[in-house]
Amino acid sequence: MKVYYDGDANLDILKDKKIVILGYGSQGHAHAQNLKESGLNVIVALHEKNEFWHQAEADGLEVMENKEAVRAGDIIMLLVPDTIQPGVYKNDILPNLQKGNILAFAHGFNIHYNQIVPPSTIDVIMIAPKGPGHLVRRQYQQKQGVPSLIAIYQDYSGQAKEFALAYARGIGATRAGVLQTSFKEETETDLFGEQTVLCGGVTELILSGFNTLVEAGYQPEIAYFECLHEMKLIVDLIYENGLSGMYYSVSDTAEYGGLSRGPQIIGEESKKAMKEALKRVQDGSFATEWILENQANGPKFNALRQKLDNEKIEKVGKELRKMMSWINNK
Pick the binder of ligand NDP from 19, 35, 52, 150 (CB under 6 A). Answer: 52
160-189 CB burial, b ≥16 within 10 A, e <16: bbebbbbbbbbbbbbbbbbbbbebeebbbe
- The rounded distance, in Å, linking the Cα atoms of 90 and 93 is 6
Nearest to 121 by CA among 94, 88, 99, 144: 99
What are the helix (H) ranges across the chain?
26-37, 51-58, 66-72, 85-88, 109-112, 133-141, 160-170, 173-176, 183-192, 200-215, 220-224, 231-249, 252-265, 268-282, 285-295, 299-309, 312-320
Hey, is 133 helix, strand or coil? Answer: helix
DSSP state of 104: E
Q: Which is nearer to ligand NDP, 50 or 141 (CB)?
A: 50
107 is known as an active-site residue? yes
Q: Which is nearer to ligand NDP, 128 or 166 (CB)?
A: 128
Q: Which is nearer to Mg ion, 46 or 78 (CB)?
A: 78
Q: What's the closest the beta carbon of residue 132 comes to Mg ion, in angstroms?
A: 10
Contacts with 127 (C-beta within 8 Å, 6 or more apart), sequence order: 77, 104, 105, 106, 148, 149, 150, 164, 167, 168, 171, 173
Please identify which of the residues 29, 31, 107, 112 carries the catalytic annotation: 107
190 binds, among ligand NDP, Mg ion, none (CB under 5 to 8 A by kind): Mg ion
Q: Does 58 bind ligand NDP (CB under 6 A)?
A: no
Q: Does 81 bind ligand NDP (CB under 6 A)?
A: yes
Q: Which is nearer to ligand NDP, 27 or 196 (CB)?
A: 27
Q: Does 123 bind Mg ion (CB under 5 A)?
A: no
Q: How many residues bind ligand NDP (CB under 6 A)?
A: 26
Q: Does 159 bind ligand NDP (CB under 6 A)?
A: no
Residue of closest CB approach to ligand NDP: 25
- The rounded distance, in Å, linking the Cα atoms of 170 and 164 is 10
- Stretch near Mg ion under the rule CB under 5 A, chosen from 115-123, 189-197, 237-245, 320-328: 189-197
Q: Does 88 bind ligand NDP (CB under 6 A)?
A: yes
Pick the binder of ligand NDP from 14, 19, 21, 26 (CB under 6 A). Answer: 26
Pick the binder of ligand NDP from 69, 79, 168, 176 (CB under 6 A). Answer: 79
Hey, is 178 helix, strand or coil? Answer: strand
Q: Does 176 bind ligand NDP (CB under 6 A)?
A: no
Pick the binder of Mg ion from 131, 190, 196, 247 (CB under 5 A). Answer: 190
- The rounded distance, in Å, linking the Cα atoms of 267 and 328 is 36
Pick the binder of ligand NDP from 27, 34, 154, 174 (CB under 6 A). Answer: 27
Binding site for Mg ion (CB under 5 A): 190
Please list the active-site residues.
107
